[in-house]
Amino acid sequence: MKNFLLLFLFTLALQKSHAQMYLTRNGYIGFFSKTPLENVIAENRQVYAVIDPDKKNLAFVSLMKGFLFAKELMQEHFNENYIESDKYPKASFTGNFTGDVDVKTEGVYPVQVNGQLTLHGITKPIQVPATIEVHQGKITGKSDFKLTPADFDIKIPSIVREKIASQMDVHVLVECNPK
Amino acid sequence: MKKRFFFAGIALCLLLVVLWGFYWYQKPRTSLASVKASYHISAVDLYKAFAANEQAANRKYLGKIIEVQGQIDDIKKTDTTFSILLSSGNDIGGVNCSLTETLQKILPQKGQMVNIKGKCIGFIMDVNLSDAVINP
């Protein structure tokens, strides 16, 4: 059902006859874990996002294996032990935003994003503040928020718990072009 | 005397284990430039394989280093990387390659035929390759 919805959204995005949709296949999601012992950064620059400013809908999909770490071993542990990317290869978000965005007037519009986030096979509602910037015909969505891995049943073994924060800072930046 | 050698030996072994562990722990994610590709395939055929049967294609290609040949459909630059979309011959998807800019020797252009080597990380609309490099 979820996949069907995403496929539907992306297919809509690619039909020229439909109302204007904005799409990127190179969006950015990064997460940061800060502890006194170690800072961990993982970044994914192959995030797919669709924004429909008329209906105020948006959808994101990313591959877990697309999150890249500076250290090879960390990336391996992330994929094999924590996020189990062979079992749960994708993370996705579908939702909508509140607040008015006028695609004909350039500017930065603050919005509130509500929707369902699926991560590690678990779907949870999230609500985060974001901004939508209209600039040169493009729509850029930006949001910073915190996520708790434990909420998505992501288990961090006690041996590394000191090195991994219980909350992650998540940055999202998607520059979408009209499609 | 013998005992001393014994303990020195053990200490040396421990030190080596610690150094070895430290090396693996600190080892950066390596560039694929010197890694040999497991598969050589055209962007058209790679896309077809995933579009036809994602599960089967994942079993074959996921996590593997693949060298893909194709025509550049689109180039997007980000702050530290750029992304190249290789054409699959249809409008819906292609092969989305994420490249680290500092590793590139030649700057590609739209419409150009290129060989790109990268790690296959899965399929969303396009086949996705990460850590990619352009092969001359």
Say what the pTM is: 0.87
All residues at 6 or more sequence positions from B7 whose CB lies less than 8 Å from its CB, including other chains: none
**Closest in A46, A70, A72 to B96, CB measured:** A46
With 0-12 / 13-18 / 19 or more C-beta atoms within 10 angstroms meaning exposed / middle / buried, residue A54 is exposed
For chain A, the maximum distance between any two Cα atoms, rounded to a whole number of angstroms, is 55
All residues at 6 or more sequence positions from A39 whose CB lies less than 8 Å from its CB, including other chains: A32, A33
A68 within some domain: yes
Q: What CATH number has the domain bearing residue A167? A: 2.40.128.110
A18 within some domain: no
Helix axes B43-52, B54-61, angle to 10 degrees: 130
Contacts with A14 from chain B: Cβ below 8 Å: 91-92
**Closest in A48, A66, A69 to B121, CB measured:** A66
Tokens of A164: 């991994």
Q: What region, left, alpha or beta, does residue B125 occupy, with left being phi > 0 and alpha being psi -120 to 50 degrees?
A: left
Give the number of other CB atoms < 10 A from CB of residue A143: 18
All residues at 6 or more sequence positions from B55 whose CB lies less than 8 Å from its CB, including other chains: none
Report the domain count for chain A. Answer: 1
**What residue spans of A80-179 are helical by DSSP H?**
none
How would CATH label the architecture of B39-135? Beta Barrel (2.40)
| Cα–Cα distances in angstroms (integers) from residue B46 to residues A47, A99, B12, B60, in the given order | 20, 42, 50, 11
A77 within some domain: yes
Structural domain that includes position A144: 2-13+24-178
Q: Write out pLDDT tens, residues B91-121.
A: 889 999 998 766 666 678 899 999 999 999 9
Contacts with B81 from chain A: Cβ below 8 Å: 45
For chain A, say whether B75 makes contact (Cβ under 8 Å).
no
**Closest in A28, A45, A63 to B124, CB measured:** A63
A19 within some domain: no
pLDDT tens for each residue of chain A, 179 residues long: 456 556 666 666 555 555 789 999 999 999 999 888 889 999 999 999 999 999 999 999 999 999 999 999 999 999 999 999 999 999 999 999 999 899 999 999 999 999 999 999 999 999 999 999 999 999 999 999 999 999 999 988 887 888 888 899 999 999 999 98
Nearest to A60 by CA among A70, A51, A52: A51
A74 within some domain: yes
A127 within some domain: yes
The DSSP output letter for B109 is: -
Q: How many CB pairs under 8 A join A and B?
A: 67
